Amino acid sequence: MTLTKRIIACLDVNAGRVVKGVQFVDIVDAGDPAELARRHAEAGTDEIVLLDITATHEKRRTLIDTVVRTAKQLFIPFTVGGGIRTIDDAAAIFDAGADKVSINSAAIARPELIGEIGSRYGAQAAIVAIDARRGKSNSDPIANAEVFVNGGRKPTGRKVLDWAKEAESRGAGEILLTSMDADGTRGGFDCKLTALVSEAVNIPVIASGGAGTADHFADVLLEGKADAALAASIFHFGIANVRELKEEIAKRGVPVRLPC
Amino acid sequence: MIAVIDYKAGNLTSVMKAMHAVGADAVVTFDPDVVMYADKLVLPGVGHFSATAFLQEHGLRQAIEERVDTGTPFLGICVGLQWLFAGSTEAPDTAGFNVFPGHCERFSEGIKVPHVGWNSIQVSESRLLQGISNGVFVYFTHSYRAPIVHGTVAVTEYDSPFTAAVERDNIMGVQFHPEKSGAIGLQILENFVRLT
């Protein structure tokens, strides 16, 4: 009996449609988040994250509808992030059927939000997402990695390590750490940065950004000391499904949920 | 009718969705009168053990006690399982239901808390876990763990072994979240719903 490492599928959603990571060849509607989430769960994904990248005010209603539809047939953990600024925003997402919310820019702007969500829905329901970029100085670019907000457009001047520790002390249940340097490269997760953060906090860390092969997952779950690894298009790596992915990383000694 | 008891701790949407998925006629309530005529009781809950004080303050504890004493099936989930013990070090001033002895305690230092994710369970003879194989994975998320007692029917391990499920006659509890544990979880909920 061992706690397994989680493989998390992320659906990036714009105005109610999944905008990247088309996964199933035989799917009727590859852009429908509810359909994709259900298929991911059936295939053996451990958890679903839905990230709303629209996040403009007039589209919030669309997001709530999407969350309701997606949650309806989903019986694995379901996290929703993107544009959650207040406890009322979070409440609407929970009421729609999410189990956890992921907050990013709003947590930097007003860190009390973490505790507000935690005290109402339990600490396990508050995930703090950190978009990290390695520091420019050559002295120690990883220890000096900086937090970015507003979808990675705005530097905050805050060190990733400090912010991760503060998020923990304010009651975050998990940290979702995205390496902006690795994101989109398919060259592997930032194992060094992930390990540094994971060792600095006592809450689970989800690694994100850079997945390209099954080995990349194993690397970040082993050397990177991540508790979970997230990718938006986990079936694009020359493997047919998440089960194969898990079988590959299990060969490297990573405990995973198999059969799933 | 199954009463899903709302004591204002966390979100009941997922539990209700799963109950409906297995065909249960379930309602959310914090009214002791509804508890008094429900066929089965479910006490979910994520969050702090102190939230269970609500049960005492609103006459729910007494209603639950009367019903389980007459054989009404009861299922506690997560904090709902922990409440079945004498108490929890998370809220020393809040008494548990004390069906099972001992206190729930925080996981030890040196491991990540909460225990979040899919872990496997070792199961023994149980009505709730009928048809559930040894070694299946279920989803946990909690920072406090219940001791292993006479009545423990499933065990898991995170740093050290602890109770994943308890059962004594009509009183049952699971530390994991059946509503978030895929097909296995739904099967467990269906077992409960079909109890006669």
Q: Which residues of chain B have pLDDT under 50?
A: none
Per-residue pLDDT reduced to its tens digit, A28-80:
566 889 998 998 899 899 999 999 987 565 667 789 999 999 999 899 999 99
Q: Can you say whether residue A38 is alpha, beta or left, with left for phi > 0 and alpha for psi between -120 and 50 degrees?
A: alpha
The model's pTM:
0.95
Q: What contacts A153, CB < 8 A, 6 or more positions away? A: none
**Given this model, what pLDDT does residue A57 score?**
59
Q: Of B99, B94, B97, B65, nearest to B167 (Cα)?
A: B99
> With an 8 Å Cβ cutoff, are B113 and A202 in contact?
yes
| Phi and psi based region of residue B84 (left: phi greater than 0; alpha: psi -120 to 50; beta: remaining) | alpha
For A204, name the nearest residue in chain B, comparing CA atoms only.
B112
CB-CB under 8 Å, A71 with B14:
yes
CA dihedral A246, A251, A253, A256 (to 10 degrees): 20
Residues of B in contact with A37 (CB under 8 A): none
Report percent pLDDT > 70 for chain A. Answer: 91
pLDDT reported for residue A234: 65
User: Is the ipTM here above 0.90?
Assistant: yes
User: B88 lies in which domain range?
Assistant: 2-194
Distance CA(B88)–CA(B106), nearest Å, equals 9
Report CB contact under 8 Å: B11, A46: no
Q: What whole-number distance in Å separates Cα of residue B9 and Cα of residue A260?
A: 30
Q: What are the chain A neighbours of B112 within 8 Å (beta carbons)?
A: 202-204, 227
Of B11, B21, B114, the CB nearest to A121: B11
Strands A205-208 and A154-159: unpaired
Question: How many residues does the structure list for chain B?
Answer: 196
Lowest mean pLDDT among A9-13, A177-181, A232-236, B109-113: A232-236
Q: Chain-wide mean pLDDT for chain B?
A: 96
Q: Which residue of chain B is at minimal alpha-carbon distance from A260?
A: B137
- Which residues in chain A have Cβ-Cβ distances shorter than 8 Å to B137? 4, 257, 260
Model pLDDT, residue A26? 58
pLDDT in tens, A118-133: 988 888 999 999 999 9
In this complex, do A227 and B181 lie within 8 Å of one another by their Cβ atoms? no
Q: What is the pLDDT of residue A123?
A: 87
Q: In this complex, which of A75, A202, A257 lies closest to B180 when CB atoms are compared?
A: A75
The per-residue pLDDT for A22 is: 46
For residue A258, what is the nearest residue in chain B, using CA coordinates?
A: B137
Q: Which of A32, A89, A99, A131 is catalytic?
A: A131
Q: How far apart are CA A1 and CA B75, in angstroms?
A: 24
Say whether B156 sits in a helix, a strand or coil.
Answer: strand
Whether residue A12 lies in the annotated active site: yes
Classify strands A47-52 and A78-81 as parallel, antiparallel or unpaired: parallel
The answer to whether A131 is a known catalytic residue is yes
Going by C-alpha positions, the residue among A64, A23, A30 that lies closest to residue A44 is A23
Q: Which of B115, B118, B142 sits opposite A46 (nearest CB)?
A: B118
Please tell me the total count of domains within chain B. Answer: 1
Residues of A with CB under 8 A from a CB of B: 1-6, 41, 46, 71-72, 75-77, 94-97, 99, 119, 121-125, 173-174, 202-204, 227-228, 257, 260
Tokens of A133: 């970029």
Q: Are A203 and A196 in contact (CB under 8 A)?
A: no
Rounded Cα–Cα distance for residues A110 and A126 (Å): 14
In chain A, residues with a C-beta closer than 8 Å to the C-beta of B122 are 1
pLDDT tens-place string over residues A89-119: 999 999 999 999 999 999 999 999 999 999 8
The structure tokens listed for A59 are 């589209």
Say what percent of chain A tops pLDDT 90: 69
Look up the CATH number of domain A6-251.
Answer: 3.20.20.70
**Four-point Cα dihedral B184, B186, B190, B192, nearest 10:** 80
The structure tokens 């979880």 sit at B185
Q: What is the pLDDT of residue A55?
A: 56
Which residue, among A42, A34, A102, has the nearest Cα to A72 in the 3D structure?
A34
User: Three-state SS for A61?
Assistant: helix
Q: Give the CATH number for residue B58.
A: 3.40.50.880
| Dist CA A224 CA B91 (whole Å) | 35
Tokens standing for B19? 């109950």
For residues A183 and A199, give the distance between their C-alpha atoms in angstroms, rounded to a whole number.
22
Mean pLDDT, rounded, of chain A: 90
How far, CA to CA in Å, does B135 sit from each of A77, B114, B129, B154?
A: 20, 21, 12, 10
**CA-based radius of gyration for chain A:** 17
DSSP A31: T
Give the whole-angstrom CA distance, residue B193 versus residue B19: 8
User: Which residue of chain B is at minimal alpha-carbon distance from A199?
Assistant: B112
Q: Which chain A residue has the Cα nearest residue B114?
A: A203
Q: On the CB side of B142, how many CA atoms lie within 13 Å of its CA?
A: 34
